[in-house]
Amino acid sequence: MTPRRKRLWVVLGILAGVSASVALAVVAGRQDISFYYVPTQVALGKAPRDKDFRIGGLVMKGSVRRKPGDMTVHFVLTDYAHQVPVVYTGVLPDLFREGQGIIAHGQLGPNGVFVADEVLAKHDSKYMPPEIAAAVKKNAGIAGAAAAPSPRG
């Protein structure tokens, strides 16, 4: 083996070793690295109890309820499999609306209602001019059912 070839193998070996250890660490900490839990995980009891965590999902159509003169808003988060009701008092981000993906930070109450102290809007990777968005919406209405976006949203 020439010294050059030896150096090549040493460098590749170090890289492989580091990759393997990072991969193991990442697999072990999979949920800790994730930014939020989805409603299904909450329904299956995989989310922490008595501890703050984040929950992400789509704001269910027709679920947003506000009382006039009050900053408190009630809505339901869904991943199309399970639903979690959320209550939040405060200013909502601009992108918050029904059907939009959002991430709430807070605690799950004993009654199954998630009490949020922070709400972030999640933007998807789709970009569209307003006219096209309006046309897509109209066509989806005619077709009756639009393709359901993935729960990851």
Q: Calculate the alpha carbon distances from 89 to 17, 74, 86, 102, 108 in Å.
A: 48, 9, 10, 15, 15
CA dihedral sign of residues 44, 121, 133, 64: positive
> What gap in Å lies between CA 58 and CA 122, rounded to an integer?
9
* Cβ-based neighbour number of residue 118 at 10 Å: 13
- Please give the residues from 89 up to 148 whose contact with other proteins meets the rule CB under 8 A: 92-95, 103, 118-134
Whole-angstrom Cα distance, residue 51 to residue 137?
40
CB of 43 to other proteins, least distance (A): 16
Closest distance of CB 45 from other proteins, Å: 18
Q: For the CB of residue 126, give the shortest distance to other proteins in the complex, in Å.
A: 5
Q: Taking CB under 8 A as the rule, does residue 28 contact other proteins?
A: no
113/121 with CB nearer other proteins: 121
Q: Does 7 bind other proteins (CB under 8 A)?
A: yes
For other proteins, the closer of residues 50 and 94 by Cβ is 94
Nearer to other proteins, 5 or 111 (CB): 5
Among residues 91, 138, 101, 137, the alpha carbon closest in space to that of 122 is found at 101
- Write the interaction track for other proteins spanning residues 51-90; mark x where CB under 8 A is met and - where it is not: -----x----------------------------------
For tokens 């989310």, the residue is: 47
Positive or negative torsion for Cα 24, 28, 32, 35: positive
Q: Which residues bind other proteins (CB under 8 A)?
A: 4, 7-8, 11, 14-15, 18-19, 22, 26, 30, 33-38, 56, 92-95, 103, 118-134, 152
